[in-house]
C-alpha cells in the first residue's frame, strides 16, 4: 500500500510539473528594446509596434520551429546607459533569443559590450555612421555609403549646391557621419570655408538663432543646402523655425537623414514642401509588397491614417531574415543563427532583394524624396540597383584599409587589408 501510494504521489506530482517545462520549451522569447518615453519616443515607439505586429503575424503562421514567439518589451526611456541595463536583463533574466532595438548610435554603443559579453543577438534598424561591425549585431539600416554620400552627390550634381550646412544632434552618429561627409566634400573640391557645422542637444527646442545663422550662411550668392542629422522630437521646432524665417526649399533645401513619415505626421508640412530626405524606403513607393505591408500596418494599428517609414521596413526585413535563419539553423542558438544569417535574402518593400553581407550589413536601394503637403515623400531620385553596405568608410584615413568579414578565414569585424591583421575591435 505504501509503495502504491508513493507511486501515485509521484505520478500526480509529475502530472502537475510536466506542463511547466513544456510551456517554456514551447516558446521563443523576443526582446524589444525601444524608447517608449523621452525624446526618442516619437520615433522608436513605432518600431516597438512593428515588432509586435510581425510577431503576431508569425504566430498566426504557426510560430517558429513549432514554438510560439513571445515578446518581452522594455522601455529604456531615451536613457543611453539604461539601454545597456535593459539589454542585460533581457538576455540574462528573460533569456530572449534575439533583440530588436535601439535607434540612436549612442544607445547601440551602450548595448554592444553587453551583447558581446553575454553572446546576445540584436538587429539594429536605423541609418547610422557605420565604423563598426560586431558579430552580435546585424545592421539593417543604412550605412553612410547608402544614404549620406548619395545625398551629397544628388545635391552637387542635380541641384548645383556648393555650400553645405551640416546640422546634427550632438552624439556619435551625426559627428561621425559629418566627419565622413567633410572628408568627402573636400575630396570633391568643396573648401572648408563653405562647410558650416553645428550640433545641438537632444530635445533642442529653441532654433531661432541657429536658423538665423543658417540663413546668413546661405545668403552669400552661392547655392547652399542643409544636411540634417537632427534626431528625435527636436525636428518639429527646427522645421517650424525654418518656415517662420521664410526659408523655402528653393532658397536653402534641407536633406534629412532622420526625418520620415512618422516625424512629419506631427508637423504642418505645407511650408516644408520641396525639402528632402534620403532613405532606402518611402511609404509612397508603389509595389505590391509595400501595398500589402501598409494595409497590414493600418489594420494592426486600427488607424487608417497610420504611416510607415524606413526603419519600419528595416525592422521588417531583419525580422523575416531572422526567422528564415532560425529555420535554416534549426535552432535559436546565437552562433548558429549568426552563421545562417549571412547570405540571407528577403524582398525589399521598394522592389529588389535585400541581401545580408559578410560584414553584417544589408544591401539596400537608395532613394531621395521631396516632402509633399500631405506628409508623404515623392521620390525624385533613386539608384538603379541595391548598394551593399560598407562597414568602414573609404574617406577616413583611420578606416580606409579596414573591412569586416565574419566568414572564414577572416572572421573579423576590423580587419586591416594591408597588415592582414585583425585588431579584435568593432
* Domain ranges across the chain: 24-143+291-296+311-366, 145-287+368-388
Mean pLDDT over residues 387-401, rounded?
95
**Confidence grade of residue 426 (pLDDT, cut at 50, 70, 90):** low
Omega within 30 of 0 (cis) for the link into 409: yes
List, in order, residues 6 or more apart from 357 with CB less than 8 Å away: 342, 363, 388, 389
Determine the topology of domain 24-143+291-296+311-366 in CATH: Rossmann fold (3.40.50)
Q: What is the pLDDT of residue 425?
A: 58
List, in order, residues 6 or more apart from 229 with CB less than 8 Å away: 166, 167, 168, 169, 173, 174, 177, 178, 257, 258
Q: Do domains 24-143+291-296+311-366 and 145-287+368-388 have the same CATH topology?
A: yes
Q: What is the pLDDT of residue 236?
A: 84
Task: Please check the confidence at residue 4 and state whether its pLDDT lies above 60.
Answer: no
Phi-psi region of 211 (alpha: psi -120 to 50; beta: other; left: phi over 0): alpha
Q: What is the pLDDT of residue 54?
A: 98
What would the pLDDT profile of 124-166 be if each residue is shown by its tens digit? 999 999 999 999 999 999 999 999 999 999 999 999 999 999 9
Contact status, residue 316 vs residue 50, Cβ threshold 8 Å: yes
Q: What is the pLDDT of residue 73?
A: 98
Pick the CATH number of 145-287+368-388 from 3.40.50.2300, 3.30.530.50, 3.40.718.10, 3.40.50.300: 3.40.50.2300
Residue (of 357, 249, 375, 362) closest to 309 by Cα position? 375
CA atoms within 13 A on the CB side of 100: 35
Cα–Cα distance measured from residue 351 to residue 115, given in angstroms and rounded to the nearest whole number: 32
Kindly tell me the sign of the dihedral angle through the C-alpha atoms of 331, 334, 340, 343. positive
Radius of gyration over every alpha carbon of the chain, rounded to an integer in angstroms: 23
What's the whole-number average pLDDT of the chain? 92
Kindly tell me the sign of the dihedral angle through the C-alpha atoms of 149, 154, 157, 163. negative
Cα–Cα distance measured from residue 37 to residue 45, given in angstroms and rounded to the nearest whole number: 8
Task: Please check the confidence at residue 70 and state whether its pLDDT lies above 60.
Answer: yes
Q: What is the pLDDT of residue 3?
A: 41
Task: Please check the confidence at residue 383 and state whether its pLDDT lies above 60.
Answer: yes
Q: What is the pLDDT of residue 263?
A: 79
Q: What is the pLDDT of residue 356?
A: 98
Phi-psi region of 63 (alpha: psi -120 to 50; beta: other; left: phi over 0): left
Cα–Cα distance measured from residue 413 to residue 407, given in angstroms and rounded to the nearest whole number: 10
What would the pLDDT profile of 18-36 be if each residue is shown by its tens digit? 333 334 579 999 999 999 9
**Confidence grade of residue 15 (pLDDT, cut at 50, 70, 90):** very low
Contact status, residue 69 vs residue 59, Cβ threshold 8 Å: yes
**Confidence grade of residue 423 (pLDDT, cut at 50, 70, 90):** confident
pTM (2 d.p.): 0.88
Which range has the top average pLDDT, 236-245, 266-275, 349-358?
349-358
Cα–Cα distance measured from residue 251 to residue 265, given in angstroms and rounded to the nearest whole number: 24
CA atoms within 13 A on the CB side of 392: 21
Q: Which residues of 268-285 are buried (b: 16+ CB within 10 A; e: fewer)?
A: ebebbebbbbbbbbbbbb
Q: What share of the chain is helix, strand, coil (3-state, %, to 5)?
A: 40, 20, 40
Task: Please check the confidence at residue 11 and state whether its pLDDT lies above 70.
Answer: no
Pairing of strands 367-371, 377-382: antiparallel
Amino acid at each position: 500500500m505504501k509503495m502504491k501510494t508513493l507511486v501515485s504521489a509521484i505520478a500526480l506530482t509529475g502530472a502537475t510539473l510536466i506542463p511547466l517545462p513544456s510551456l517554456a520549451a514551447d516558446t521563443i522569447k523576443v526582446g524589444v528594446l525601444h524608447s517608449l518615453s523621452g525624446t526618442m519616443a516619437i520615433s522608436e515607439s513605432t518600431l516597438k509596434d512593428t515588432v509586435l505586429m510581425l510577431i503576431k503575424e508569425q504566430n498566426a503562421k504557426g510560430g517558429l520551429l513549432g514554438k510560439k514567439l513571445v515578446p518581452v518589451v522594455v522601455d529604456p526611456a531615451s536613457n543611453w546607459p539604461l539601454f545597456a541595463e535593459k539589454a542585460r536583463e533581457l538576455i540574462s533574466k528573460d533569456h530572449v533569443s534575439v533583440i530588436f532595438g535601439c535607434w540612436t548610435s549612442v544607445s547601440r554603443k551602450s548595448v554592444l559590450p553587453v551583447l558581446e559579453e553575454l553572446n546576445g543577438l540584436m538587429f539594429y534598424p536605423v541609418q547610422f555612421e557605420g565604423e563598426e561591425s560586431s558579430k552580435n549585431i546585424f545592421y539593417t539600416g543604412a550605412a553612410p555609403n547608402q544614404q549620406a554620400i548619395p545625398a551629397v552627390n544628388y545635391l552637387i550634381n542635380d541641384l548645383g549646391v556648393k555650400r553645405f550646412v551640416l546640422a546634427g544632434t550632438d552624439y556619435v552618429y551625426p559627428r561621425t557621419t559629418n566627419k565622413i561627409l567633410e572628408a568627402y566634400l573636400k575630396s570633391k573640391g568643396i573648401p572648408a570655408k563653405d562647410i558650416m557645422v553645428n550640433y545641438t542637444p537632444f530635445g533642442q527646442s529653441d532654433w531661432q538663432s541657429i536658423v538665423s545663422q543658417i540663413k546668413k550662411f546661405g545668403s552669400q550668392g552661392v547655392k547652399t543646402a542643409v544636411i540634417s542629422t537632427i534626431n528625435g522630437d527636436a525636428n518639429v521646432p527646427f522645421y517650424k523655425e525654418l518656415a517662420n524665417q521664410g526659408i523655402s526649399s528653393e532658397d536653402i533645401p534641407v536633406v534629412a537623414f532622420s526625418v520620415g513619415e512618422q516625424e512629419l505626421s506631427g508637423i504642418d508640412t505645407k511650408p516644408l514642401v520641396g525639402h528632402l530626405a534620403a532613405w532606402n524606403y518611402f511609404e509612397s513607393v508603389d509595389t505590391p509588397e509595400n501595398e500589402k505591408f501598409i494595409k497590414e500596418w493600418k489594420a494592426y494599428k486600427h488607424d487608417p491614417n497610420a504611416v510607415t517609414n524606413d526603419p519600419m521596413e528595416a525592422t521588417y526585413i531583419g525580422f523575416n531574415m531572422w526567422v528564415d535563419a532560425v529555420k535554416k539553423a534549426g535552432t535559436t542558438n546565437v552562433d548558429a543563427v549568426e552563421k545562417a544569417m549571412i547570405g540571407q535574402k528577403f524582398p525589399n518593400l521598394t522592389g529588389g532583394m535585400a541581401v545580408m553581407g559578410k560584414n553584417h550589413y544589408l544591401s539596400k536601394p537608395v532613394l531621395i524624396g521631396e516632402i509633399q503637403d500631405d506628409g508623404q515623400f515623392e521620390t525624385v531620385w533613386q539608384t538603379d540597383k541595391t548598394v551593399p553596405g560598407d562597414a568602414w568608410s573609404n574617406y577616413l584615413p583611420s578606416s580606409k584599409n579596414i573591412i569586416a568579414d565574419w566568414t572564414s578565414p577572416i572572421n573579423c569585424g576590423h580587419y586591416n587589408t594591408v597588415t592582414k591583421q585583425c585588431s579584435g575591435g568593432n
